[in-house]
Structure 1
Amino acid sequence: MMISLFDQFASPKLLGLSLIYIALMVPLIFFPNSIPRWTNNRILTTQTWLINRFVSQLLTPLNIGGHKWALLFTALMIYLISMNLLGLLPYSFTPTTQLSMNLGFAVPLWLATVIVGMLNQPTASLSHLLPEGTPTLLIPILVIIETISLFIRPLALGVRLTANLTAGHLLIQLISTAVYVMLSTVPMAALLISTVLVMLTLLEIAVAMIQAYVFILLLSLYLQENI
């Protein structure tokens, strides 16, 4: 039973070819592009407004030097939201339930923020490893602890995104299986559980968008410490 539940997180194959590559390319159609019109349509106007709000909220606490990251963060935000929501469609696959893929996003971007800090302000970046006013005897221990916490950051980013999406998908799978089994035996209970399933699906849509925002927000906070 457990194997069948976790099969939904394995990359599906067609004619021996993994479909994860198609799943990675599908979100690209949601990126806004220029159109040969004087005015935009409603969808593009709404999308542009949401992107502008996101960028303004993201760049408010950052210095001027961090504003050049706006395009990268915005594109990654749209890409993650699209992939997270893709897995809620029937017969689809969520690439962001793979820890290796999330770490592929988290590690290079985290490393880029650390390198930027070491190049621009090495003294301030290294000072994060030792809080001011630390007793002399605790200095070696705190330096080790802060160094470990620094290197755990990309792992925490990837695990947080993977765990939240995986837990939601598993819960939806379990409840939908219960509804299917109880539909022929206890229809009233199945109807009640179906209402819970609809509410859980709406919650999972919110989680998919929030987790993408949290991923980018934490990256911007790491960048803020190094600029």
Structure 2
Amino acid sequence: MNENLFASFITPTMMGLPIITLIIMLPNMLFPAPKRLINNRMISIQQWIIQLVTKQMMAIHNQKGQTWSLMLVSLILFIGSTNILGLLPHSFTPTTQLSMNLGMAIPLWAATVLTGLRHKTKSSLAHLLPQGTPTPLIPMLIIIETISLFIQPVALAVRLTANITAGHLLIHLIGGATLALLNINTTTAMITLVILVSLTILEFAVALIQAYVFTLLVSLYLHNNT
């Protein structure tokens, strides 16, 4: 019986009910709240990483942009933990769904644009027309810059979806090839197993990098509008 190549991206169900909500809430278990005066090692490492990422992303922002720090840190933690949990066996990665990524990208992008139009109206509108543009090219360049502005959230969502989906497909294909080669050639099967383990480790890194890239781009859009 041949398995559907995209079966791993179908939302899992339990007793006929989708468990996507439970899967999305599961990352909260990785971030326990400290209940004692002395934190354990896990909480200390989490706090150190959060402070490092926050300091790096907020270094370019003014006081108005730094008010977004809590939201940006929550965003990178959510995307990163969701991507990592999606690598567990028999799990589902919500960030492989373009609809979910668009649901995150469009409101965040719109908030940055509206912030710029509210506080820096002239500067935000000036981005639609580069300085020194010849008069005959002004209408065309305004149209091009407007289209590029509206493509930004789509690019955010598609980038995250494509990278996560491509990694999952490779793991699925190589894993299937390893199982098929076990009964044919053990030596080749072991080689593909080593490749599979290496690719899985790489996917853990990609899961964190893509979360950082997504949040960093939102931060840059915010920087351009504050």
TM-score of the pair, normalised by structure 2: 0.97
Residue 11 of structure 1 is matched in structure 2 by 11
Residue 195 of structure 1 is matched in structure 2 by 194
Aligned partners of 2:156 and 2:27: how far apart in 1?
A: 21
Aligned partners of 1:204 and 1:147: how far apart in 2?
A: 35
Residue 131 of structure 2 is matched in structure 1 by 132
Assess, with a 3 A threshold, how the Cα gap between structure 1 residues 129 and 32 changes in structure 2: closer, same or farther. farther
- 5 Å-filtered alignment, 1:14-33, equals 14-33=14-33
CA contact (8 A) 2:34 2:43 kept: no
Aligned residues: 226
CA contact (8 A) 1:32 1:47 kept: no
* Shift, 1:96, TM fit: 0.6
Are residues 1:154 and 2:150 paired? no
CA contact (8 A) 2:58 2:66 kept: yes
- Deviations along 1:75-133, whole A, 9 cap, x unmatched? 11111011101111011110110000000000000000000000001000001100111
Give the fraction of aligned pairs with identical amino acids, expressed as a percent.
Answer: 53
Assess, with a 3 A threshold, how the Cα gap between structure 1 residues 182 and 149 changes in structure 2: closer, same or farther. same
Aligned partners of 1:116 and 1:226: how far apart in 2?
A: 6
Residue 59 of structure 1 is matched in structure 2 by 58
* Shift, 1:3, TM fit: 7.0
Give 5+ residue unaligned stretches, structure 2. Answer: none
Aligned partners of 1:137 and 1:97: how far apart in 2?
A: 43
Aligned partners of 1:61 and 1:67: how far apart in 2?
A: 9
Residue 169 of structure 1 is matched in structure 2 by 168
Question: In structure 2, the residue corresponding to 1:165 is in which secondary structure?
Answer: helix
Aligned partners of 1:76 and 1:2: how far apart in 2?
A: 38
- 5 Å-filtered alignment, 1:29-48, equals 29-35=29-35, 37-48=36-47
* Shift, 1:2, TM fit: 9.1
Are residues 1:120 and 2:119 paired? yes
Residue 76 of structure 2 is matched in structure 1 by 77
Aligned partners of 1:7 and 1:127: how far apart in 2?
A: 47
Which one-letter code corresponds to 1:161 in the other structure? L
Aligned partners of 2:211 and 2:130: how far apart in 1?
A: 31
Aligned partners of 1:33 and 1:153: how far apart in 2?
A: 35
